[in-house]
Amino acid sequence: MEALEFNVSQLLRAQVGTTTHHRVDVDTPMELDGIRTWGMHGRVNLIRTNFGILAHADLEARAGLECDRCLEPFEAPVVARFDEEYLPIIDISTGRPVQSERTDETFFISPNHVVDLTEAVRQNLLLAIPMHSVCSEDCRGLCSVCGTNRNLNSCDCVLEEEHPFAVIAGLLDGEESA
C-alpha cells in the first residue's frame, strides 16, 4: 500500500525535531482479521528523533461490521490515532547496519530508508473497532424465540421477560420459607 510508505532519507539527515507533514488518502480496501476497511484518510506527521522517526498519525476509515443485535451488515467510521517510533536498520551516513535492540513490537525503517505505516495502521485500526457494534442505538435485534429481525418484521412470539437475578431471587425465596 504505497500511500502508507514514506521515504525518510532526507529526514534522517535532518536535525532532531524536524517534522514533515503528509496527507493520507487510501481508497484500497484493507482486511483486518476478517473486517474490511476502506476510504482511509487523514494526516501523518513524521518527526526526526535522536533514535529514528516518530510517526504521529490521525486517520479515519470506514469499516464493514455486523450488528451484534440483528446480525445485519453495516458500515461505521473507525478512528485511529497513534504514535509509533521507527528505527533505522541502515545508518544513513555510513551505509552500515545499525546495531539496535529488536523486539516483536519494534517497527523498522527499511534498508531503502522507507517508513511503511501499513502494519501500525492495521494494528491501530483493529484496536479502534468497537467490541460491541450495533447498527443503531434503537436496533430491536432478533426475536429470541423465532429469530425474526424485529427491525424489519414483527412476530407473534410471547417473550417472557426474565429478570437477570431471577435465580438468586428464587434461592432467597427458598431460604425465607425455611
What backbone phi and psi angles, to 5 degrees, belong to 155?
-130, 170
| Averaged pLDDT in 10-residue chunks for the chain of 178 residues | 86 96 93 90 96 96 95 95 94 77 80 94 92 94 90 83 67 62
Q: Where are the domains of the chain?
A: 2-139, 141-178
What is the reported pLDDT for 116? 95
Closest CA to 122 of 20, 8, 28, 11: 28
Residue 132 is predicted with a pLDDT of: 92
Nearest-CA neighbor of 1 among 52, 40, 54?
A: 40
pLDDT for residue 164:
67
